[in-house]
Amino acid sequence: MQYVPASELAGLPGFPGSARRAREAAARMGLPSRPRGGRGGGLEYAIDALPPAARLALAARLTAANDAQPIRTASVTESRANGTARSAHATGWQKEWQDSVARVLVLFQRFWQAYGGPLTPALTAFCHVWAGGLSPINVTVPDDLRRTFPRLNYKSLRTWHLGVQERGLAAITPREHHRKGKFAALAGDVGAAVLALLVDKPHLSATAIYSAVATQFPDIPSERAFRRALAHWKDKNAQLFEAVTNPDSWRNKYLSAAGSASEGITRPNQLWQMDSTTGDVMLADGRRHAVVGVIDVFTRRRLFLVTRTSRSGAIMSLIRRAIAAWGVPAAIKTDNGQDYVAAQLDAALLGLGIEHPLCQPFSPQQKPHIERAIGALMQEYFELLEGYVGHSVADRKAIEARRAFSDRLFDKEEPLDLRMTPEQLQAGIDAYCAKLHASTRPELGGRTPEQMALRHPIATVPERALDVLLAPSAEGGIRTVGKKGIRIGGGFYNHAHLGGLEGRQVQVKVDEANLGRCWVFDLDGAYVCEALDYERLGFSSAEVAAERKAHQAKALRESKRELKAVTRKFDTRAAIQAIHATRTEEAVAASPNVVPLRRTAAHSSTGIDSITTADTPKVSDEQLAAAQAALAARAEKPAPVITLHATPQERYARWLQLEARVQAGEALAAEERNWFEGYANGPEWGAQKRFFEVFGLTPEQVLGTQAAGAA
């Protein structure tokens, strides 16, 4: 079937002379038509449907043109196939409109099959039924489709029906903007200014950008045109806009993550990754503490440390704790933050033989495992805690708004604000990590991190070496031992081996993962002891005080003995007399006014002779030596001291042994009975009793293990 535009119908028999009037006449006659392709649009009308006189006149007109070729149009089947193929890729609102119109046409076709007759009466009847009119043919219209088309126009329905017959789905697919995204608001210098403002200040609204551009360019499109242009540009360039305005968000959404970040990692401790962040929880002290994390890439084991701020000391404490639990890593990868490139951290890792590769600046994607581990901690654990403030400013404002709304409603059922202490938060995170280590993970082939670690050997380091290299120094590193112990941060750290070191300077290193203990070394680097702040840990310091006094007395006795042994080898009295004689002779020789002493002779009488010749008791050298030895033995004999065990488990095991002796009817010594009765009344007795019952320990297991370790 061939088609011609309305301009070709003008002047034919039965048609007015103008194209507009000819179009109106064709509509009145109900001539079959189709949308006209090419510039200008409009409709084309079927030649075969023209009246015979008009058809003959048109043929004569076309023949008179001589060179005009027969109108060549695609067949209905070909046109419909091409239009359907082009419209199959419609998306968004175009696809929604296409589907809605297609559903209407399907309903009409079913109605027409039942209604019968020509097309025009069927179209009219269907529109009448759609509007709610009565008809012998019932039409069930879905609610969503009726909301889309509250009224159905005869002309629109006819255009859709004939268009689909001729061109397929293309006839009911809305066309895109004729400029295909090329808006005048983003063209030329105006467009450059708009994009510059959009990139430099992405928070500006379209109205603000329009106002700023209007001051520089007099003739610009309307504000509405700007809104459409900006919306279209952001939609088509979402990744580019995110990359230039928020690189961190772009990395999370769009950065290519092909391949495996753990490729080449074949054993535990081959590579660790570390990072720090500020926790999303307000603690009991009114502050948000930092969280330092470390993860073993191969096994996915992880540890976290809660600290006031992320500093090199806290990082070293976490590394020490991880090495003690997992072994020595070959390399630890971190970013180049100030706390991770500190001199003392680099020196410690160099001393342990651990490589320290750094990420490139602003490239957190180079350590993705610790980034995901910290993110999981914040989302899976921190969000459940009291005092949670949100991951962003928007989250925090929303939480504050909810609380304020509750206050306005006078909600008395609002739970109390029971915030955690840093110690409680650390204990909770440790439990969270322990649960993860015992859980299977798909990236580990269905195995747990603990199972992955057990299949490979690890390298260990002596504990004292870790203390020296990785434990951070306390308040300058050098402290003086006082009568109550070593004062650090308002507390006193004590140990029995500090007895005898009062007044001397020592090196002190602290454990930031356990603020209740520190390691003490002398100035030459020799290990002294592990001192504890018993008040912070909640234990009685009376026992360690008694043991320290005994150690102090023993140290002083040994020092005094060494000092006496040295002094016996030197006659101090003769040396002092020689000094006095020398000074006297020098004074006499230097003074010209000194009168020499006269010579004297001994005077005697009967009375004097009787006194000097009287018998006096003589003391032999042997008697004098025996008396001195007895005095020395009496001085060296120490006071009776009960040796206390170092750990609570050993003390409770010793108490159980004494209890067994009492149950057997054996009498205890006075010192043993005093300790036995006093220990049972202390807080440590109850805690250790539950500890032994839970783990099924016996005194022989505890004391036997300790004795074997000491041997």
Residue 628: predicted pLDDT: 67
Q: How confident is the model at residue 430 (pLDDT cuts 50, 70, 90)?
A: very high
Q: What is the mean pLDDT of residues 174-188?
A: 62
Residue 277 has pLDDT above 60, yes or no: yes
Neighbouring CB atoms inside 10 A of 18's CB total 13
**Is it the case that residue 258 has pLDDT exceeding 90?**
no
pLDDT bracket for residue 431 (50, 70, 90) = very high
- Number of other residues whose CB lies within 10 A of the CB of residue 488: 17
Distance CA 612, CA 366 (A): 104
Rounded to an integer, what distance in angstroms lies between the CA atom of residue 145 and that of residue 155? 18
Binning the chain into helix, strand and coil, the percentages to the nearest 5 are: 55, 10, 35
CA dist 325 → 270, 301, 453, 514, 647 (Å): 15, 10, 11, 15, 21
Token pair for residue 451? 């199972």
Q: Which whole number is the average pLDDT over 386-392?
A: 74
Per-residue model confidence (pLDDT) at position 619: 52
What's the pLDDT score for residue 70?
Answer: 43
Rounded to an integer, what distance in angstroms lies between the CA atom of residue 467 and that of residue 520?
Answer: 9
Q: Give the CB-side neighbour count of residue 443, counting CA atoms within 13 A.
A: 12
449: which residues sit within 8 A by CB, 6+ positions away?
296, 299, 300, 301, 436, 437, 441
Q: Give the pLDDT confidence score for residue 275 in this predicted structure.
A: 94
Instruction: Please report, rounded to a whole number, the percentage of residues in the chain having pLDDT higher than 90.
Output: 14
For the segment 457-466, the average pLDDT, to the nearest whole number, is 81
Q: Cα–Cα distance between 185 and 445 in angstroms, integer?
A: 55
Give, for 349, the enclosing helix (H) or strand (E).
Answer: helix 343-352
Per-position DSSP letters for 238-307, written without gaps between them: HHHHHHHH-HHHHHHHTS---S-TTTT--STTS-EEEEEEE-SB--TTS-PPEEEEEEETTT--EEEEEE
Q: Say if residue 608's pLDDT is above 60.
A: no
pTM of the predicted protein model: 0.45
Q: Please state which of the ranges 83-92, 516-525, 693-702 shows the lowest mean pLDDT.
A: 83-92
d(CA 470, CA 475): 15
DSSP, res 444: G
Please state the separation of Cα 710 from the chain's center in Å.
Answer: 42
Strands 33-35 and 43-46: antiparallel
Which two three-digit tokens encode residue 294? 């470390």
Mean pLDDT of the 620-628 span: 66
CB 194 within 8 A of CB 220: no
Give the model's pLDDT for residue 276.
93
Q: Are 324 and 349 within 8 A, CB to CB?
A: no
What CA–CA distance (Å, rounded) separates 345 from 334? 12
- pLDDT greater than 90 at residue 412: no
Q: Tell me the mean pLDDT in the region 378-383.
A: 88
Q: Which whole number is the average pLDDT over 217-246?
A: 79
Give kind and range of the element (H or E) at residue 521.
Answer: strand 517-521
pLDDT band with cut points at 50, 70 and 90 for residue 523: confident
pLDDT tens digit sequence for 119-158: 888 899 999 888 887 777 878 888 888 888 988 889 999 9
- For residue 531, which phi and psi values (nearest 5 degrees)? -90, 145
Query: Residue 8: what residue type?
Result: E
Say whether 505 sits in a helix, a strand or coil. strand
Contacts of 258 (CB under 8 A, 6+ apart): none
Backbone angles phi, psi at 306, to 5 degrees: -90, 125
Give percent of the chain with pLDDT exceeding 70: 74
**Segments in 438-571 forming alpha helices (H):** 449-454, 463-470, 534-537, 542-568
- Separation of CA 57 from chain center: 84
Residue 446's region, left for phi above 0, alpha for psi from -120 to 50, else beta, is left
Residue 276 CB neighbour total at 10 angstroms? 24
Q: What's the mean pLDDT in 456-471? A: 79
Domains of the chain: 3-73 (1.10.10.10), 77-172 (no CATH), 184-253 (no CATH), 272-454 (3.30.420.10), 474-562 (no CATH), 648-710 (no CATH)
- The confidence band for 356, taking pLDDT boundaries of 50, 70 and 90, is very high
The one-letter amino acid at 512: E
Average pLDDT on 517-532 reads: 84
77-100 pLDDT, tens digit each: 655 566 666 666 677 778 888 889
pLDDT at 18 over 80: yes
Short-list 306, 318, 365, 315, CA closest to 337: 315
Give the closest residue to 396 by CA, choosing from 496, 288, 497: 288
Q: What one-character DSSP code corresponds to residue 595?
A: P
Looking at per-residue confidence, does 129 or 512 come out higher?
129
User: 517-521 and 505-510: which strand pairing?
Assistant: antiparallel
Beta bridge partners of 352: none
pLDDT averaged over the chain?
Answer: 78
Report the interhelical angle of 188-200 vs 223-236 (nearest 10°): 60
End-to-end CA distance of the chain: 109
Summarize pLDDT for 639-687 with one digit per residue, the tens. Answer: 455 555 568 888 999 999 999 998 888 888 888 888 888 888 888 888 8
pLDDT at 439: 93
CA 394/CA 228 separation, integer angstroms = 28
Q: At what angle do helices 154-167 and 119-130 cross, to 10 degrees?
A: 130
CA 25/CA 9 separation, integer angstroms = 10
| Confidence at residue 68, expressed as pLDDT on a 0 to 100 scale | 42
Confidence of residue 67 (pLDDT cuts 50, 70, 90): very low
Please list, in sequence order, all residues whose beta carbon lies within 8 angstroms of the beta carbon of residue 88, skipping any fewer than 6 positions away. Answer: 169
